[in-house]
Amino acid sequence: MYIASRERKLLSILLDARGEVKVKELAKLLNISDRTAHRDLNQVETTVAKFNLQLNRKQGIGIKLSGQEENIHRLQATIASLEQTDYTIEERHAIIFLILFEADEPVKLFTFANELNVTNATISHDLDQMEEHLNKYGLRVYRKRGLGVELEGTEAAKRKAISSFIADFLDPYEYITMAKETLNKQSSSPQNSISNRLLGLVNPQKLERIEEEVQQVVGKLLPNLADSAYIALVVHLALAVQRLEKGDHIKFDPKYLEELRTTNEFSTASQLIRRLEQSLHLYIPNDEIGYITMHLMGAKLRVEQNYMIEDSSMDTAYIAKELISYVSHRLHVGLSENFSLLNDLVTHLKPAVYRIKQGMNIKNPMLEEIVTDYEDLFELIKEAVTELFPEVDFPDDEIGYLVLHFASALLSGEWEVDLRALVICSSGIGTAKILASRLMQKIPEIKQVDNRSMFEVEDIKAGYDLVVSTIPLKEDENDYILVSPMLQQDEVERIKRWVRKQKLQKINKKKPQQEKGEQSNAYTEKLTVMQKYSGITIRLLDAFRITHLPEKASLLNVLEKACKQLADEKVITDEKKVIQKLIEREQISGLGIPDKSLALYHTRDDAIDKASFTVYALKEAVTVKGMDGSDQSITRILLMLAPKEIEQESLEVLSFLSSLLIQSDSITRLFESGKETEIREYLSEQFFNFIQQKA
């Protein structure tokens, strides 16, 4: 049986789809016109009929392949078993890349041509087309006259590219499942030549061992790791082991590796690598630990995270604050005081920026849905990171995660939004009334619903945020949602997605109104929480002081005097060690707050006995490196210290204190020139509000 490549691709899309697919979407995926897609679908309809399957076409909704599961599986098996002499362009590019990826020497053009049953000229043209795509990963195709073609780039770049290819052709979970089935020789899933080649990149037996070790170590130490991150980690390790056995090693920045050693993720990664070395009888370099650490740090957790002083440095917090200000200004909303959003962004941005600079791949499985649901917000944040991170090329996958953080803050319910909906049916009565009632019941943002018959509708966009209809309309299918009168659950979800988009568009300049929380009977628990945070903040306030240095001093002299004073007060036990840690921290990145005369020096170490926040006013300005990388003059040093082992509540208080320093220009000016009593009074007020929120 012969099925042309484009028809095979159409069938694959319909087989993989969970629901209806619109013709426009099919045309876009295949890079063809709507008319051509309709013509191809006629041939598809003939093909599926031979398997007792049908193409169900619903006007305004899309096309869906339907029939008995047995017949659907038979069609899948037939497509997979066809002798593929007619590959799609994407399939040819994938096979060419896989051959280059595994080759240890240049590959001649005729090798590709024989493999793919095309001419040398076609292969040469394919290589030209692939060049731009491979450049995104830091790779290039190098053609050696008389010898052939080879892939040039770092090992990290090659792994990034191959991970992306796997994600493009197979779901990572499906990849692991198929590898296990291959091991047990009981594969029930049809496999094509691309799948077989991808499966050949890993050893199924070792993959199974790797998954067992990941489950043992990561499952215990990071129980909230998302499933997608868990699967991605297993695939990454399986590929890494195979490459290491071939002698292909990656390089990790030793300076950043040293900084990562203090994180929980590094400890987890180290334990995992040591177990894998024993299980697989393979030496694994420390550079691999760095990459595994970055995978864990970048993973999406199902629990809310708070950033810590050392885990996320203040320069990252400053950029995150700038990003929030940028979005707030453009959307006319007040997000600058959203401490939770700041925490989430800092937690995400620091490992994200490093991943991007090192060419490490991260796949966002929700990207298409994010772009569809939050198109304007996506473009705004893309514009913002381009301006704020001029030296970092943020891929769309990373931007998608940033969009989710902002969307969560914007849609948290702090902004009241009233939407007006129009319901259309054949008569405007009966089913329209039922649907209107269910809409207001299921979608609380909809405050008003009008009913119209199909004969009364002229311009469905006029004055309405949402239009739903029980009958197909002549208007563009993107202008309304076609539903059943009783409003099924999948239709409710589609409407909710539409509402999210409308809600973002309607957010206005009003400062968010704090919702009145539900009263709780657990007063004792609240008092206990307040007492704990109160004790921490009172100790910080009691120890807070501004020390005016009477004579000119170098930066090192200032740190020495500050640490001696704190040692006398039993805050620190080893002055030299703390000074060294502060200097090392400064060398990692700047500590000067941009455009201000302040610098925030901070560290955590076991030579520090208790948390401390003090200010040192200099007689003459000194020059330090700013958080934005430029040199700046400072007249006050803010010194924040904390023990290496410290309770979570203390870290939250210090994190909150850090965020206050960059809240606004007026607050920064207070720390620049304010008196000790003024700053203590301000901190007391802010800590009081912080504790009330915690309770």
Dihedral angle sign, alpha carbons of residues 91, 94, 96, 98? negative
Nearest C-alpha neighbor of 352 from the set 375, 327, 385, 330: 385
Q: Class for domain 314-348+357-410, per CATH?
A: mainly alpha
Residues 6+ apart with CB under 8 A from 200: none
144, 107 Cβ separation under 8 angstroms: no
What pLDDT does residue 189 have? 45
Domain 161-298: which CATH number of 1.10.357.10, 1.10.3720.10, 1.10.1790.10, 1.20.1050.140 = 1.10.1790.10
What is the average per-residue pLDDT within 387-395?
Answer: 84
Maximum C-alpha span of the chain: 93
Q: Determine which helix (DSSP H) or strand (DSSP E) holds 448, and give its type and residue range.
A: strand 446-453
**Percent of all residues in the chain with a pLDDT value above 90, rounded to a whole number:** 12
Residues 6+ apart with CB under 8 A from 49: none
Residues 6+ apart with CB under 8 A from 485: 425, 431, 434, 435, 470
From 286-300, 378-392, 623-637, the region with the lowest mean pLDDT = 286-300
What is the average per-residue pLDDT within 318-325?
Answer: 84
Q: What is the pTM of this model?
A: 0.52
Nearest C-alpha neighbor of 478 from the set 456, 497, 452: 497
Q: How far apart are CA 628 and CA 67, in angstroms?
A: 60
Nearest C-alpha neighbor of 324 from the set 650, 659, 687, 693: 659
User: Do 314-348+357-410 and 523-694 fold alike per CATH?
Assistant: no
Q: How far apart are CA 17 and CA 167, in angstroms?
A: 16
65, 53 Cβ separation under 8 angstroms: yes
* CA distances for 128 relative to 32, 101, 107, 148, 169, angstroms: 22, 17, 16, 14, 21
What pLDDT does residue 516 have? 39
List of E strands, 33-190: 54-58, 62-66, 140-144, 148-152
* Pairing mode of beta strands 546-548, 481-482: unpaired
Nearest C-alpha neighbor of 382 from the set 428, 421, 420, 330: 330
Q: Class for domain 5-81, per CATH?
A: mainly alpha
pLDDT at 553 over 70: yes
- Beta-bridge partners for 623: 633
Q: How far apart are CA 185 and CA 203, in angstroms?
A: 14
Residues 6+ apart with CB under 8 A from 310: 262, 602, 603, 604
Residues 6+ apart with CB under 8 A from 336: 321, 324, 325, 328, 663, 664
pLDDT at 62 over 50: yes
Question: What is the dotted CATH code of the domain comprising 89-153?
Answer: 1.10.10.10
pLDDT, tens digit (0-9, with 9 covering 90-100), for 525-534: 777 778 888 8
- Nearest 5°: CA angle at 387, between 384 and 392? 100
Q: How far apart are CA 580 and CA 565, in angstroms?
A: 16
| DSSP one-letter string for 382-399 | HHHHHHH-TT----HHHH
Q: Which amino acid is at 596?
A: K
Helices (H) and strands (E) in the chain, counts: 28, 12
- Beta-bridge partners for 626: 592
Q: How far apart are CA 48 and CA 46, in angstroms?
A: 6
Q: How far apart are CA 50 and CA 127, in angstroms?
A: 38
pLDDT, tens digit (0-9, with 9 covering 90-100), for 279-316: 888 899 888 888 888 777 765 433 334 433 343 445 67
pLDDT at 514 over 50: no
What pLDDT does residue 164 have? 75
Q: How confident is the model at residue 178 (pLDDT cuts 50, 70, 90)?
A: low
What is the average per-residue pLDDT within 571-590?
Answer: 86
**Percent of all residues in the chain with a pLDDT value above 70, rounded to a whole number:** 79
Q: How far apart are CA 572 and CA 662, in angstroms?
A: 27
What is the average per-residue pLDDT within 51-67?
Answer: 83
What pLDDT does residue 634 have? 92
What pLDDT does residue 191 have? 46
Q: How far apart are CA 21 and CA 63, in angstroms?
A: 5
**Is the pLDDT higher at 162 or at 677?**
677
152, 179 Cβ separation under 8 angstroms: no
Q: How far apart are CA 74 and CA 266, in angstroms?
A: 47
Q: Class for domain 419-506, per CATH?
A: alpha beta
Dihedral angle sign, alpha carbons of residues 362, 365, 369, 370? negative
64, 14 Cβ separation under 8 angstroms: yes
pLDDT at 438 over 50: yes
Q: How far apart are CA 659 and CA 652, in angstroms?
A: 11
Q: Which amino acid is at 350?
A: K
629, 595 Cβ separation under 8 angstroms: no
First-last CA distance in the chain: 69
What is the average per-residue pLDDT within 31-51?
Answer: 82
* CA distances for 195 relative to 95, 98, 296, 630, angstroms: 10, 11, 27, 50
Query: Reduced to 3 states, what is the DSSP secondary structure of residue 546?
Result: strand
pLDDT, tens digit (0-9, with 9 covering 90-100), for 399-428: 988 988 888 788 765 555 677 888 877 554
What pLDDT does residue 509 have? 42
Nearest C-alpha neighbor of 404 from the set 392, 396, 393: 396
Q: How far apart are CA 317 and CA 307, in angstroms?
A: 10
175, 197 Cβ separation under 8 angstroms: no
**Average pLDDT score, the chain:** 78
pLDDT at 161 over 90: no
What pLDDT does residue 496 have? 80
Give the burial string for 527-538 (b: 16+ CB within 10 Å, else e).
eeeeeebeebbe
What is the average per-residue pLDDT within 500-508?
Answer: 65
Q: How far apart are CA 252 and CA 255, in angstroms?
A: 9
Q: Can you read off the two tokens belonging to residue 296?
A: 């864990």
What is the average per-residue pLDDT within 35-61?
Answer: 82
- Beta-bridge partners for 592: 599, 626
Q: Which fold has domain 523-694?
A: Mannitol-specific EII; Chain A (3.40.930)
Taking each helix axis from N to C end, the angle separating 155-169 and 227-245, rounded to the nearest 10 degrees, works out to: 130
What is the average per-residue pLDDT within 572-590?
Answer: 86
What is the average per-residue pLDDT within 67-83?
Answer: 78
DSSP letter at 311 equals: T
- Beta-bridge partners for 66: 54
Q: What are the boundaries of each domain within the chain?
A: 5-81, 89-153, 161-298, 314-348+357-410, 419-506, 523-694
